[in-house]
Amino acid sequence: MPIARRLVREAVVDWDLPDVADAAELVVSELASNAVRHARHWGFRLTIRRLAHGGVRVAVTDKSRVLPVIGISCAENVTGRGLALVDAVSQEWGIVRLPWGKRVWADVATSDVLADFGPAPEMRVFATPTAQIIYVLIVVALAAWLGVLIAGG
């Protein structure tokens, strides 16, 4: 997935949107990994499109017709957190069914656009997509640590 991350980063920097680069890279990494893992095929199509409001849409198309779901992960699972991360760093994401597969997409907005939307009442707000990622990773690490403590003793 390094090539996909690099392509996305270069596109958003060329479009003068460097503040979405980290989140867009995370999104493409997770979506591409899911495509390879679940479609059981190394071939997938990556598209990135600049949105009118200042963000980007990252999409990965694969040949699997099985739709992804946000998994419930526990400390023992090494995988299953990808869509939760995509959900955390994207403004919106979704799935388009195709006759021969599917396209999973996520819109990553600039911090200015996210400020215009305002937070949902129960949603924790972070200054940057990177801060959101760090928060999610800390929560996952703490859950894993707690699981090890409970299992061990």
Residues 79-100 pLDDT 10s: 556 788 888 899 999 999 988 8
Could you give the angle at the alpha carbon of 73 between the alpha carbons of 70 and 78, nearest 5°? 110
Residue 113's pLDDT is what? 44
The least confident of 8-17, 59-68, 88-97, 101-110 is 59-68
Confidence of residue 60 (pLDDT cuts 50, 70, 90): very high
Q: In the chain, what is the greatest distance between 2 CA atoms, to the nearest angstrom?
A: 54
How confident is the model over 22-43, as a mean pLDDT?
Answer: 84
In whole angstroms, give the CA distance from residue 36 to residue 18.
27
Residue 105's pLDDT is what? 93
CA distances to 23, 37, 93, 138, 145 from 87, in Å: 11, 19, 7, 16, 23
Q: Are 68 and 76 in contact (CB under 8 A)?
A: no
**Cross-strand bridge partners of residue 93:** 106
pLDDT(118) > 60: no
Q: Hey, is 51 helix, strand or coil?
A: coil
Residue 69's pLDDT is what? 73
pLDDT(74) > 60: no
Percent of the chain with pLDDT over 70: 76
